[in-house]
Amino acid sequence: MIPHALIIAFLLPLESLGLLFFARGFFPYKPVFHGYAPIESDAPAAVYDKVIFMVVDALRSDFVFSNESSMWFTQSLISSGNALPFTARAAPPTVTLPRIKGVTTGSVSNFLDAVLNIAESDSSSSLVGQDSWLIEFKRRPVPGKLVMFGDDTWLKLFPGIFDRYDGTSSFFVSDFTEVDNNVTRHLDTELKTSDWDVMILHYLGVDHIGHKGGPYSPFMPDKQKEMDQIVEMLYEYAEKLQETEGKSTLLVLCGDHGMNEIGNHGGSSAGETAAALLFASPLFSKLGSGLRAPLNATDNYEYYNVIEQVDIVPSISGLVGNPFPMNNIGVFVPELLRFWSRSDQIKLLRQNAEQMYRILKEAFTSMDMPVTDAQTLLAGNDIDKIRGLWDQIGQPYFDETDDPVETLYAFLRLSQKVLSRTSSNYDISSMVIGLCLVSWLSSLAFRRALFSTSADFVTKAVFAVGTTIYAISIFGSSLVEEEHYFWYWSASAWLMVQFILSARVKSTAAGLILISLLGVLSILRHYHHTGQKYAGSYDIAQFLSSDIAAGLLWGLILLEHLLIFKNLHFYVFADVSPLIAFVCSFAPVISLFSFKMSMALEAGEKVPPVLAAITPTSTGADQLLNRAKTSFLSIVICMVFHILSTVWSTKRDQFKLIRGTFHIAVLLLVVQTSSVNIPIFLLYEAIHSLSRRLAADYRATTPLAIVLSTLIWQRVSFFAAGNSNSLATVDLSNAYNGVSGYSMIPVGILAFVSNFAGPIFFTLSGTLQLSTWKTSSKSMRSVEDIFTVDFLSLIHAFHAVSLLAVMGACMVLRSHLFIWTVFSPKLLYTVGWFLLQQGAVDTIVGLFIVVVSDLL
Amino acid sequence: MARIKSTPRQIATPSTPTSPTPVPYKQKTHYPENVITSSALLAFPIVTVVLSSLLPSDPVKILGYSLPPVALIQAVNILFTNPVPEPVAKSSGNKKKKKAKSTVSTTILGLVLSMLLTPFIHLIYVLFGAPVTVSLAATFLLSAHTALLALFPILCTYPLDGVTWTNIVALKAPVTPAYTAALGTIAGAWLGAVPIPLDWDREWQTWPVTVVFGAYVGNALGRLFGAVLGGKEKKL
C-alpha cells in the first residue's frame, strides 16, 4: 500500500541499529572492581570516631565562602581555624546520582550515570558490591552504625546499609521548606541518641530554590541561614561530645555540585562544577590554618584551595582509620595530613598510592613491564612518568629520600589525572560499524529527499545548504552549546528567502505574513536566553516570573486557555448542540487551568489574588495528583469523542480528525508546560495561524517549503522554551504529573512531552498546513504522496544527516576536552530528536494521516 | 530630485505569477567607466580595513565619527560613478530626457531619505535578532551605516515606485553596481553575525563589530561583482 512508508520503515530500524552499535562503543565501560579493599594491618591511627556528612544539594562554593553568603557561623569557623575550606571540583555530569557515587566510592562516574540519574532506575544504579567509605564502616570488626536523612538517592545507591533512615524524594522541586524540615526534624533525637558512627544528611532546599529562582533568588539568603544554623547545631554537638566523652567527630559540609547562573546544573560551566567543601571539628584549631572568611566574590568560583571532589573519599577514610575504597581515584587532602607524624604521613600516602596502582594495573597493561631506566621514563608521557615514579616509590630507602611526600603526591596526582580520562576505553570497531551503517543509510535518505520529492528547486537548495552547514557546525563545541543561534539565524534567513519568493509572485499578503512571522520569531528568541555564553541574561521568561509581572503572566495564561476553549468548541465539538459543546469544551480547559494554578501555588509562585481566590485552595501533593489525573482523563474523553464523531460524521473530510487532534494535543502540551512557558503557546498559535494562511496562498508556497518551515520551527520552539544541548536544562518538573511514584514509561513519556512540547506542536501544525495547501491548491497529488514522500522523507533525511554528523563529531573529537561535557550530551539530545521526535512523533503523525485519509 | 518625483508611486498590482512585468529600462553600457570608478572600488576596502581595526575599541564612537566621511565617499561615488538605468519614455507622457547619472539633487535627496529610513532599518535588525534593550546606540549607528551602504545608492539609482521596488525585493531589477552592493551588504551583515556566539572571547566579537565588518566587505564585493557583471540588460 505505501511503498514510501516502507522505505522509512526499512531505514529507521537500521539506523537505530547503527546508533546502538555506535553508542555501545562510545559510552565507555570503565573497569570497576567489585569486592572490597584489603584491611591494612599497619594503618596510621584514626583521628576521628564519628563522621557527620552533611550534603547540601547544589551548594556552590560562593554560597558559603563569599562575602555575599549568609552562612556567618560557618565563616566564623574558618576564621577561628576550626574548619578547613576548599572548593571541590565536581566532575561532570553535575547531577546528584553520579556525584554521590563520586563522593562515596571515589570513582569518576561514567557518562551514562547522568542518564540513569534522569531515568532513576532502581536496580541499575545501586552500588551493592562496590566499595565505598560507607561500606568500609560496615566492614569493621564491630560494624559501624549508619543513619541517613534526606535525598532518597542514597537509599537507592546503598540499599539496606542504613540502620535508620528517612528518605525524601525530590519530585517536587517547587518545595523549599518541607524537604529540609523532613531532614532536620530527626536531628534532635539523633544527636541525643548519638549511637551512630556515620550520619548522612542530604538537604535539597538550596537546589530547589536554584532551579526555581536561580542562585540569587530572594529565598536563598534565608535558606543559607537555615543551613548555617544546622552547621552550628552539629558543630556544638561535636564540641560537647569532645569535652564530655572525649569522642571526636568530623563534620563534613559539602555540595554535591554547584549551579549555573540560572540555577540549573548538569553541565560543566565553572559554577556547576564548583562545589563548596568544608571539614570542621574542634581538633582543627591545633593545625593552625590561618585562613580568613568571607572572601570577596570571584567570577570563577574558586575559593581557597581547589581540590577534586573525589579527594573527599580517601580523606574521610584516612581520618577514621578505614582502608581506602577499591575504586577510589581521590588523593588524600594535604592539609589534613598534619594530624600525623611524618612517618605516618608517608605510610598513609603510600597506601593511597598502592590502592591507586591496583586500578592503574587494571587499566593499562604497560604498568606491569619491568622498569629499566627510571630517569628516561620520567621524561616520557604520563603513563611512563607514573611508572617511573612508582619505581622510585618502590625503592628500599624511599622514605629517607629528600621529599617522599612530594614524590608520592606527584604520583597520586598524575595517576588521578590519567584515570579520570576515559578515552582509552572506546570500542572503536563497534563505533566504526555504527558510523558506516548510519552514513550509508543517511546518504540514501538525503538522496531520496532531494530527488524523489516534488519539484521545488529553491526549497531543496536551501534544505541541502542548510543541512550541510548544520552538519558542519556540530563539529564546533561552542556552536553546539549555542545551537539556538543557528536556528534563529536560519529561520530568519528562510523567512527572507520566502519573502523574496512572495515578491516574485507579487503576493503582498504572503509578504505581510512573513514579516509578521519574523516579528514572532524575534519575540521567541528573547523568551529564554539559553546556551552557555548568555545564559541567565535578562529575558522575557525572567520578567514574566518576577513578582511584578504576575498579573500579566496569568492574563496571558488565561488568554491561552480561552484560545484552547475556542478551538475545542470550534473544531472538536462543532457538530453537537451549542450547550453541550460549551460544556464539553469548557470542562477540560477549566480542569487544566485549575491544575496549572494549584501547581503554581504549590511552587510558591506569585499568583494574582483574584485568580487564586476562584481556584480551591490547594492541599498538597495528593490534590495536585488528582487534578493532573482529571486533566489527562478529560483529554482522553475529548479524543474518544472526537474519533467517534469523525467516524459517524456524514460529511467526508479527510483532515477533520487531524484538525481536532491538533487542538486536543495542545491541551496535553500545555498540561506538560510550566506556567512561565504557557504564554509561548500564544506565539506558537500565532505562527500556526499565520503559516496556515501562507499555506492557503498556494502560489507563494509549496509542500516542501512547508515541511522545511516545520523542521525549522520545531528547533526554534525547542530552544525558545529554554532547552539547550546541555543536560542542565532537562526539565523534569512536569515529568510526574498525575504519577504518584516512579515508573519508567509514563514518567519518560511525560518528560519527553514536556521538553519537546514545541516540536510536537509544530509537527501537528505542519501537517495541518500541508492539508490546507492540498485543499486550497486543489492539487491532484494524493495525500499519501504529500505526506510520505515530501513530509516524511525530508524530515527523516534531516534527522539522519544530523545524527550522522553528531556521531562523526563524537568519533573525530573523542579525545577533545569537551567530549563528555558538550558532545556526549549533544549525542543524547540527538538520539531524543531522532528516535522520539522524528522516529515516533513525526512518523506516526504522518502515517496516521495517510491511513485515516485512506479510510475516510 | 526630478527623478524621484517624476514617477508617481504605483501600487504593486497582482499579476499572474508566471509572467513578471518586464521593466522598461535601457542601460548605459560602459564600465568600469574611468579611473574614478576603479578608485571608488578601492575606497571601500580601505574604509573596511580602517574601520574594522579601530572598531572593537569603542564601536559607538568610531561608528559615529565615521558616518560623515562614509556618507561623503558614498555621495562622491554616486555622483561620479553610479550608472543609472534609464527608463524608456513611456506612453504616460514622461517626455523629459534624463541624464544617465545621478544629479546632485537626487544624491542629496537620496542621502536625506536613507538617513530618514535608518529607524526602519534598525527595526529590521531587531527583527533579525539584534539586541532590543541594550546597545541601542550601536545598533542605530549600524543601521545608519547600512542605510548609507545599501539604501542610499539604490535610492539614487532606481525610481521610487511600487513595481520597481517589488522587483528589487524579488531580485528581478536590472543589475547595477548599486544593487549588487546592496545585496552584498545585506548578505555580509547576515553572515557577519556568525562568529558572535563562538567562545573565542575576543574583543571584536561584541555587537556589532562583525556585522559592520561583514556589511562593508559584502558591499565591496557586491560592488565589484556588479561592475563586472552589470552593463547589460541583465537580471539576477
Q: How confident is the model at residue B41 (pLDDT cuts 50, 70, 90)?
A: low
* Long-range pairs for A512-519: beta carbons < 8 A, 24 or more residues apart: A513/A690, A513/A691, A513/A693, A513/A694, A513/A697, A514/A694, A515/B127, A516/A686, A516/A690, A517/A687, A517/A690, A517/A691, A517/A694, A518/A492, A518/B127, A518/B128, A519/B127
Per residue in A55-93, pLDDT tens?
A: 999 999 999 999 999 999 999 999 999 999 999 999 877
Q: Which residues, including other chains, have CB under 8 Å from residue A341's CB and lie 6 or more apart? A: none
Q: Which residues of A touch B (CB under 8 A)?
A: 476-479, 481-482, 485, 488-489, 492-493, 499-500, 503-508, 515, 518-519, 521-522, 525-526, 531-533, 538, 699
Do the domain assignments include residue B43? yes
Residue A268 has pLDDT above 70, yes or no: yes
Rounded distance between C-alpha atoms, residue A707 and residue B123, angstroms? 28
Q: How confident is the model at residue A380 (pLDDT cuts 50, 70, 90)?
A: confident
The closest of A674, A532, A743 to A212, measured between CA atoms, is: A674
Do the domain assignments include residue B106? yes
| CA nearest to A501 within chain B | B170
Rounded distance between C-alpha atoms, residue A117 and residue A716, angstroms? 27
Do the domain assignments include residue B225? yes
Cβ contact B198–A479 (<8 Å)? yes
> What residues in A contact B12, CB-CB < 8 Å?
506, 508
**This prediction's pTM:** 0.81
Cβ contact A489–B126 (<8 Å)? no
CA distances from B26 to A317, B23, B88, B171, B232 (A): 91, 9, 6, 18, 9
Cβ contact B129–A525 (<8 Å)? yes
CA distances from B213 to A419, B122, B145 (A): 46, 17, 11
Cβ contact A499–B169 (<8 Å)? yes
Do the domain assignments include residue B35? yes
Q: Is B206 exposed, middle or buried (0-12, 13-18, 19+ CB in 10 A)?
A: middle
Mutate to test the interface with A, among B23, B128, B185 (most CBs of A within 10 A): B128
Q: How confident is the model at residue A617 (pLDDT cuts 50, 70, 90)?
A: low
Residue A253 has pLDDT above 50, yes or no: yes
Do the domain assignments include residue B146? yes
User: What is the structure's pLDDT at A36?
Assistant: 84
The closest of A733, A806, A697 to A212, measured between CA atoms, is: A733
Do the domain assignments include residue B166? yes
- For B119, the domain range is 31-85+99-229
Per residue in A386-433, pLDDT tens?
A: 888 888 888 888 887 888 899 999 999 999 988 887 545 678 899 999
Judge contact between A200 and A55, C-beta under 8 A: yes
Mean pLDDT, chain A, integer? 88
The distance of B126 to chain A (nearest Cα, Å) reads 7
Average pLDDT over residues A135-157: 90
Residue B11 has pLDDT above 70, yes or no: no
Residue A230 has pLDDT above 90, yes or no: yes
Residue among A478, A489, A519 whose CB faces B198 most closely: A478
Query: Which residues are bridge partners to A86 per DSSP?
Result: A277, A305
Three-class secondary structure of residue A831 per DSSP? helix
| CA nearest to B14 within chain A | A506
Query: Which residues are bridge partners to A295 per DSSP?
Result: A66
Respond yes or no on whether the N-terminal peptide bond of residue B177 is cis (omega within 30° of 0): no
Triad B155, B156, B162: Cα angle to 5°: 45
User: What is the structure's pLDDT at B37?
Assistant: 59
Average pLDDT over residues A792-810: 95
Average pLDDT over residues A129-134: 87
Cβ contact A506–B128 (<8 Å)? no
What percentage of chain A reaches a pLDDT higher than 90?
Answer: 52
Cβ contact B169–A522 (<8 Å)? no
Residue among A481, A488, A504 whose CB faces B172 most closely: A504
Q: Which residues of B touch A (CB under 8 A)?
A: 12-15, 17, 20, 126-129, 132-133, 166-167, 169-172, 190, 193-194, 196-200
| CA nearest to B192 within chain A | A489
Cβ contact A531–B197 (<8 Å)? yes
Judge contact between A525 and A489, C-beta under 8 A: no
Query: Which residues are bridge partners to A633 per DSSP?
Result: none
> How big is the A-B interface in CB pairs under 8 Å?
65
Residue among A478, A489, A508 whose CB faces B199 most closely: A478
Cβ contact B129–A506 (<8 Å)? no
User: What is the structure's pLDDT at A729?
Assistant: 85
Residue B201 has pLDDT above 80, yes or no: no
Cβ contact B199–A477 (<8 Å)? yes
The enclosing H or E element of A153 equals: helix A153-157
Q: How confident is the model at residue A178 (pLDDT cuts 50, 70, 90)?
A: confident
CA distances from A651 to A174, A301, A437, A576, A855 (A): 48, 67, 47, 14, 13
Residue B205 has pLDDT above 90, yes or no: no
Do the domain assignments include residue B150? yes
> What residues in A contact B166, CB-CB < 8 Å?
503, 506
Mutate to test the interface with B, among A300, A522, A523 (most CBs of B within 10 A): A522
Considering its fold, how many domains does chain B have in total?
1
User: What is the structure's pLDDT at A31?
Assistant: 62
Q: What is the total residue count of chain A?
A: 856
**Interface ipTM above 0.85:** no
The distance of B149 to chain A (nearest Cα, Å) reads 20
User: What is the structure's pLDDT at B31?
Assistant: 44
Q: Please provide residue B102's backbone torsions phi and psi, each rounded to the nearest 5 degrees.
A: -65, 140
User: What is the structure's pLDDT at A121?
Assistant: 46
Across chain A, how many H-helices and E-strands are there?
36, 8
> What residues in B contact A470, CB-CB < 8 Å?
none
Residue A715 has pLDDT above 70, yes or no: yes
Residue B27 has pLDDT above 70, yes or no: no
Mutate to test the interface with B, among A458, A469, A483, A506 (most CBs of B within 10 A): A506
| CA nearest to B134 within chain A | A538
Cβ contact A522–B129 (<8 Å)? yes
Do the domain assignments include residue B208? yes
Cβ contact B129–A492 (<8 Å)? yes
